Amino acid sequence: MADPAPDDGADVDPTLFARLAADPLAGHLGIVLEQVRPGYARAAMTVGPQLLNAVGTAHGGATMALLDVVHAAVSNSHGTVAVAQDVHTEFLAPGRPGDRLVAEGIEVHRSSRTAVYRIDARAQDGRLVATALARVFRTERPWETA
């Protein structure tokens, strides 16, 4: 990630983290949410045989799911429900079988009603596999009532 969020050591509330980490599709694909703090999130996934496309590289849908899990986590990291409005993804290099892809998302801009995030997915050798610019609508509903 080019501009990481400041590390103030303040991860989100454990209850919020647990709810974000319990994403059923993420679990099905082997995506593990590793860290969430206000304005930052990180998740990882290993490219196994079930995540390959017909060419033998990481399926774009699986890679996009990894980016989307991070998008959901980082955009909800302030404790209020945020819903995706747009995600623009660029696939830059193939994820290879056995690669551990790590996606990190940072908050680029946040207002009272919308926010924008950048999410990058890299392989363990540093290859930038995909990048996304994503926007959400921020509700006023706190996660405690979601």
Q: Which residues contact 39 (CB under 8 A, 6 or more apart)?
A: 5, 74, 77, 78, 106, 107, 110
Residue 3 located in a structural domain: no
For residue 44, being part of any structural domain is answered with yes
- Is the pLDDT at 79 greater than 60? The verdict is yes
Contacts of 94 (CB under 8 A, 6+ apart): 55, 57, 58, 129
Please state, in angstroms and rounded to a whole number, the distance separating the CA atoms of residues 111 and 82: 12
For 113-142, how does the pLDDT look when each residue is reduced to its tens digit (9 = 90+)?
A: 999 999 999 999 999 999 999 999 999 999
Can you give the CATH number for the domain in which 140 is found?
A: 3.10.129.10
Whether the pLDDT of residue 6 is over 50: the answer is no
Max alpha carbon distance in the chain (Å)? 44
Could you report the per-residue pLDDT of 10-51, keeping only the tens digit for each?
699 999 999 999 999 999 999 999 999 999 999 999 999 999
Find the domain containing 117 and state its range.
14-145
Residue 8 lies in a domain: no
Residues 6 or more apart in contact with residue 113 via CB below 8 angstroms: 137, 138
